[in-house]
Amino acid sequence: MLKEKIEARIALEDGTVLKGFSFTGGGEAEGEVVFNTSLTGYQEILTDPSYHGQIVVMTYPLIGNYGINSEDSESAAAKVTGFIVKECSRKVSNWRSNKSLGSFLKENSILGIEGIDTRFLVGRIRDKGAMKAVISTSGASDKDLVEKAKKSKGVVGQDLVKDVTTEKSYFWNDSGKYKVIVLDCGVKFNILRMLAKNNCKVFVMPAGSGFEEILKQKPDAVLISNGPGDPAAVPYIVENVKGLLGKVPLFGICLGNQILGLAQGAKTYKLKFGHHGGNHPVKDLRNGRISITVQNHGFCLDADTLGQENVEITHINLNDNTVEGLRHKKIPLFAVQFHPESYPGPHDGQYLFLEFIKMIEEFKT
């Protein structure tokens, strides 16, 4: 942890500028600023590929007190563009910890800022929506930083999946009753762990893999993973998924849910400030069951564009009634917008992996 404080600022595209201090050294980064309401799980949040292109603000005021360990990352490295907290803990206390939050961010070249009025910043995002932003320790004027934020790319219309997908196919584990292909749009490790736990032999393939290439592997099922950015910006994935419809059981998570919806002819739209956190109530319309879920997405399927003849909405968000799940009435396909694998967050949604296995077994027989 740095002993000397380095002044840092965040500049939003609406002209707002807030001052704080860097706890990772000098630097500058741009991205869409969003807030996460989780109390714990910052390591999993930092390493979630779905956050690629985004600056994350934590609503809980003290972050970093249990450090970083070698087991809880959800990808090989930090994926956020920047990280903002009210206070970064200087004291690390956890028997599993092997480094501090500041050290981890610095190793990954991620700019971390503290001392920002995070309550004001989160309120600003809730009122104005997620905005493009720049965080910086440079001597540039506030005006210049705001202009830089306005001119930054943001996430709308950007294919961010290509930056986080695997370059080569690989086996996550080499044994299991069911061979499941995971189309890696930015997959979290715990999705792969949950599949392996449920007797699946998991083969991970790049997001741009063609449907013929996927089917050549003779999978029992295909899972389309979570991932970052605008689902409308990855039409090549949607087209390949169309080629899988009806040929093999399909399960989509987060971005995978949106991709499966687009493959059915639906449309997506951008949420005002997205769903990011571990406390989102979701209702399963099939049985009335309510789960507390972990979520991380800024886009959503438009319910009015889902073909009701073939597609059924299975889950809704009880905060805003947005689409949280779907299934096809005629072919083996279902998806959810939240993260059933959790990590971090409640485990309420993990029953969906059992539903996936059941769908595979029914299709095989």
User: Catalytic residue positions?
Assistant: 254, 339, 341
Q: Supply 354's token pair.
A: 């059992």
Task: Say how many C-beta atoms besides its own lie within 10 A of residue 267's C-beta.
Answer: 14
| DSSP H or E run through 256 | helix 255-263
For residue 78, which amino acid is it?
Answer: A
Contact 73, 189 (CB under 8 A): yes
Helices 351-364, 189-197: inter-axial angle, 10-degree rounding: 60
Q: Supply 107's token pair.
A: 């190793």
Q: Which CB contacts under 8 angstroms, 24+ apart, belong to 168-176?
A: 168/206, 169/203, 169/204, 169/205, 169/206, 169/209, 170/203, 170/204, 171/201, 171/202, 171/203, 171/204, 172/196, 172/202, 172/203, 172/204, 173/201, 173/202, 174/201, 175/201, 176/200, 176/201, 176/202
**Distance between terminal CA atoms of the chain?**
58
Task: Say how many C-beta atoms besides its own lie within 10 A of residue 130's C-beta.
Answer: 22
Contacts of 119 (CB under 8 A, 6+ apart): 59, 86
**Parallel, antiparallel, or unpaired for β 333-336 and 323-328?**
antiparallel
For residue 357, which amino acid is it?
Answer: I
Task: Say how many C-beta atoms besides its own lie within 10 A of residue 305's C-beta.
Answer: 15
Burial class (CB in 10 A: 0-12, 13-18, 19+), 120: exposed
* Token pair 């989102």 in the structure block, residue: 280
